[in-house]
Amino acid sequence: MDENRVFIFDTTLRDGEQSPGCSMNPEEKLHLARQLERLGVDIIEAGFPAASEGDFASVQQIAREIRGVQVAGLARANLKDIDRAWEAIKPAASPRLHTFISSSDIHLKYQLRKSRAEVLKEARAAVAHACSLCRDVEFSPMDATRSDRDYLCEMVEAVIDCGARTVNIPDTVGYAIPDEFGDLIAYLFAHVKNIRQAIISVHCHNDLGLAVANSIAALRSGARQVECTINGIGERAGNAAMEEIVMALATRKDRFGLSTGVRTEYIYQTSRLLTQITGVRVQPNKAIVGANAFAHESGIHQDGLIKEKLTYEIMTPQSVGMPESHIVLGKHSGRHAIVNHLKKLGYDLSEAELNRVFVRFKDLADVKKEIFDEDLESILYEEVLRIEETYKLVYLNVVSGNVAIPTATMQIEFGGEVLKDAGFGVGPVDATFAAIRKITGTNYDLMKYAVNAVTGGTDAQGEATVQLKYKDRAVAGHGAHPDVLVASAKAYINALNRIEWLKKGE
């Protein structure tokens, strides 16, 4: 094995999906998995098969269809979870079982209520059982950074003896500081006798904003796998952002001398796909993939860039797949131009999918002067990636103003029948949502509502995101339209459709 090769273990579909509002349906998960395969990650952690029937089916589908990347399933350190995970991932071309148990005294005392000896015995048994099923087994001592170092060394040595080929050291609660975390990895290399028989991995959370820095510190101390997510999504403050780690290693190869197998030119496209699926946008100043990452407003910066781009850009936008300038499309663009442009963006559609996208493109071009890449991707999500629609918006008319009672008149198709009613509210959006609730007979708590312009200009297409509370989870809906009220209605209805989909899987 090349000692300078870093393996990228992408957990967007598992840890990332646990981020509030980031749940995905099976088709969306498979679509993102295909994109991760194209991106060139080494391992895709497809989910937690024992969590639900839906998660099991989704992991199994990915294992069957994704052939060029390892597919991993997560399992707690018990035989039932491990058997369930193996059943889901065994169709994979290269399956991996990933099992875990806590190692910190805090977790042992308050969560597991077991002794160190009991937990060590369970860790050994879990890894041994996993190895009897699968050639490639990974083990994680959860909350490793708050664990007693000597006990952590004992556990790592024990699971390697039992056959674990990868041992992951998680900073589960984002507690570590870079020099401290780097020292912990170095300590393991110095005190675990058989450590060279396994790849040491790290999984860092971003509670203190240090997930990427901690991951890189661990790599400098000998770790050779990083567990990370697209856009850094994940529980609480998220995980280490894959794109930041990969581009740090690529841009500062002079400093680290390390490389990955990621095709960096697909980074931006992958980031955009995830935002389209979840409706969770990255902040404009986000490193690598943010809207402002390659934007320059200062006159001094602009002058320097005109003379030599290296003056203010340490990497090119093209190196991460971000176009330096938008290709403008409009109402005079033909079908062939759309096909070619979609292919440049990395989308190869079927004839039926292209027909739906082209109709929507023409409709949008009639009301919008210029169509940008982001507009096309919004249309693509609306027409190709949306889940089956239990409810479908047919008609919306809203009356509002400073001397009128905001009123929304609406028609929604349900079960082949068109239902109509009106709603009133304190404003046009409130009235629209009231009409939807009235027609559908639903009344879920509205947790979040946001509208963003996809591109600049007063004729920009609006993207709306709605989060509804269903039981104990946030369900996100997404809608796009030049009229923000229509976009908002579509987003609310999309969230209702997602809830109906969740109910079917229960």
**Tens of pLDDT along 119-155?**
999 999 999 999 999 999 999 999 999 999 999 999 9
* CATH fold label, 386-504: Double Stranded RNA Binding Domain (3.30.160)
pLDDT of 295 higher than 70: no
Q: Which two tokens stand for residue 57?
A: 């089916």
C-alpha distances out from residue 195 to 127, 146, 160, Å: 16, 20, 7
Task: Tell me the Ramachandran region of residue 378: left when phi exceeds 0, alpha when psi lies from -120 to 50, beta otherwise.
Answer: alpha
Residues 6+ apart with CB under 8 A from 454: 372, 374, 375, 378, 460, 461, 462, 463, 480
pLDDT of 368 higher than 70: no
| DSSP-assigned beta bridge partners for residue 100 | 76, 140
CB under 8 Å, gap of 24 or more: what pairs does 115-122 form?
116/151, 119/155, 120/154, 120/155, 120/158, 122/77, 122/78
**What pLDDT sits at residue 147?**
98
Q: Helix or strand or coil: residue 345? A: coil
Q: Which is more confidently placed, 466 or 138?
A: 138
* CATH fold label, 7-278: TIM Barrel (3.20.20)
Q: Helix or strand or coil: residue 91? A: coil
- Prediction pTM value: 0.73
Residues 6+ apart with CB under 8 A from 129: 79, 82
CA distance 431 to 424: 4
**What mean pLDDT is reported for the chain?**
89
**What pLDDT sits at residue 326?**
39
| DSSP-assigned beta bridge partners for residue 200 | 167
Burial of residue 295 (number of CB atoms within 10 Å: 0-12, 13-18, 19+): exposed
pLDDT of 382 higher than 80: no
pLDDT tens profile 232-280: 999 999 999 999 999 999 999 999 999 999 999 999 999 999 998 888 8
**What pLDDT sits at residue 325?**
39
C-alpha distances out from residue 405 to 160, 398, 430, 485, Å: 69, 10, 11, 16
pLDDT tens profile 196-243: 999 999 999 999 999 999 999 999 999 999 999 999 999 999 999 999
- The residue-averaged pLDDT of 328-340 equals 65
Note whether 258 and 248 are within 8 A (CB).
Answer: no
Note whether 120 and 158 are within 8 A (CB).
Answer: yes
Domain residue spans in the chain?
A: 7-278, 294-321, 326-384, 386-504
Note whether 445 and 463 are within 8 A (CB).
Answer: no
CA distance 44 to 16: 12
**What pLDDT sits at residue 364?**
78
Note whether 97 and 132 are within 8 A (CB).
Answer: no
pLDDT of 328 higher than 60: no
**What pLDDT sits at residue 307?**
61
Going by pLDDT thresholds of 50, 70 and 90, the confidence category of residue 474 is confident
Lowest mean pLDDT among 170-174, 384-388, 447-451: 384-388
pLDDT tens profile 441-462: 999 999 989 898 766 666 667 8
